[in-house]
Amino acid sequence: MKKFCCAFGICVYLSFGLAITALAQNPYEKYLTGADFEKVAGMKGIKLIPRGSLAGAGGDLNFADASGELILMVQFTDAKNFAGFKNKYANGAVTGVGAEAIQGAAMPGMPDNLLAFTKGTHCIVLTSFGDFIKKKVYLTVDQLTALGKLIASRL
């Protein structure tokens, strides 16, 4: 009986630990993982980092490379917010992702590094970071579009 109680206690303890870990997982991770990112962008060592853990990591999903450099921020918001992104950032329309999509530059003087699109009641915004001195972004609009298509397929 003592062994049973001990075994039962260990099972309860482990179950509780797993439940806490599951609750701590980012709910948006089901739409895009580090492995997905690596496959689409052709990069290695990409990891998901928590919001606020690096300067600029303000998205629902934030990805950094192996050196800790922030590469991509993804924000999930309501579709009614798309008009604001369109008015502020749009440099052109993007086809093939979501119901409506635009590309633009989040920073003046930089190449386009932002993709915003709608699907259903969602607006998703992908922002690539870059080297602001060399005016080079880490992800092209084509790569952002491929990542956007993957996210849209999972919404």
Q: Please, which residues bridge with residue 48 across strands? A: 63
Hey, what domains does the chain have and what are their CATH numbers?
Answer: 30-154 (3.40.1000)
AA letter at 78: D
Distance, CA of 110 to CA of 18 (rounded, Å): 44
What is the pTM for the complete model shown?
0.82
pLDDT score of 25 more than 90: no
For helices 34-41 and 141-154, give the axis angle rounded to 10 degrees.
Answer: 140
pLDDT digits (tens, 9 = 90+) for 37-72: 999 999 999 999 999 998 899 999 999 999 999 999
**75-130: pLDDT as tens digits:** 999 999 999 999 999 999 999 999 999 999 998 888 999 999 999 999 999 999 99
Would you state the pLDDT for residue 3?
52
